[in-house]
């Protein structure tokens, strides 16, 4: 059990059998009345975000999620299958649980599985992925006074903005959380 004094970003709570991650919290002490904690909670499985207010000192059930390495193998159309690196089991994960990360997922990619009660419940891709540029327009030198960008389609189908000097076939490092080009790899 944890109290509101233990709240921090990333803490996972079990409320009514549903796992929620704290993405934002603020302790509020109004001039009149009791103190309370205002939070934004994200559902671990569905990604739904809700706002909830707790009274100061209120007890909640915190959950420890273990992280385990998993490797993406294949998709059968409905599920994406990952292999657990410790047990070598195949773990089917629904596309909705992976969400926006799907556009950066490629075969044999090392990911992290979130484990609760000895069962992988969700998968997180690495924050930085290295992918090849599949298609982009040629960049003309001297087009801009400042550094210009152009759209590029990566090997997984994701479209990001890259500098003019990036060509088809180049391998680039991308921050998948912000859909942002970082550097050539």
Please report, for the domain that includes residue 52, its CATH number: 2.30.30.30
**101 φ, ψ (degrees, to nearest 5):** -65, -20
Report how far residue 53's alpha carbon sits from residue 156's, in angstroms, rounded to the nearest whole number. 40
Judgement on whether residues 57 and 87 belong to the same structural domain of the protein: no
Percent of all residues in the chain with a pLDDT value above 90, rounded to a whole number:
35
**103 φ, ψ (degrees, to nearest 5):** -70, -10
Tell me the per-residue pLDDT of 136-157, one tens digit each, with 9 for 90 and over: 988 776 655 567 788 999 999 9
Please report, for the domain that includes residue 71, its CATH number: 2.40.50.140
Pair 176, 125: CB distance under 8 Å: yes
Which domain-ending residue is among 91, 109, 124? 124
Q: Average pLDDT, stretch 75-81? A: 87
Domain range for 89: 66-124
Residue listed under structure tokens 């090849």: 132
Judgement on whether residues 158 and 117 belong to the same structural domain of the protein: no
Tally Cβ neighbours within 10 Å of residue 40: 16
State residue 24's pLDDT score.
92
Percent of all residues in the chain with a pLDDT value above 70, rounded to a whole number:
96
pLDDT at 124 over 80: yes
Judgement on whether residues 48 and 100 belong to the same structural domain of the protein: no
């Amino acid at each position: 059990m944890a109290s509101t004094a233990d709240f921090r970003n990333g803490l996972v709570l079990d409320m009514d059998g549903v796992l929620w991650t704290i993405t934002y919290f603020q302790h509020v002490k109004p001039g009149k009345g009791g103190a309370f904690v205002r939070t934004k909670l994200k559902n671990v499985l569905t990604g739904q975000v809700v706002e909830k207010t707790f009274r100061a000192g209120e007890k909640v059930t915190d959950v420890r999620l273990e992280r385990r390495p998993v490797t993406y193998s294949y998709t059968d159309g409905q599920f994406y299958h990952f292999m657990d690196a410790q047990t070598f089991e195949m773990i089917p994960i629904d596309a909705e649980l992976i969400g926006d990360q799907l556009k950066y997922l490629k075969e044999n990619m090392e990911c992290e599985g979130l484990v609760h009660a000895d069962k992988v419940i969700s998968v997180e891709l690495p924050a930085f992925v290295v992918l090849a540029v599949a298609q982009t327009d040629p960049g003309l030198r001297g087009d801009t006074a400042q550094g210009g960008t152009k759209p590029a389609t990566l090997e997984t189908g994701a479209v990001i903005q890259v500098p003019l000097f990036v060509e088809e076939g180049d391998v680039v490092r991308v921050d998948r959380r912000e859909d942002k080009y970082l550097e050539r790899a």
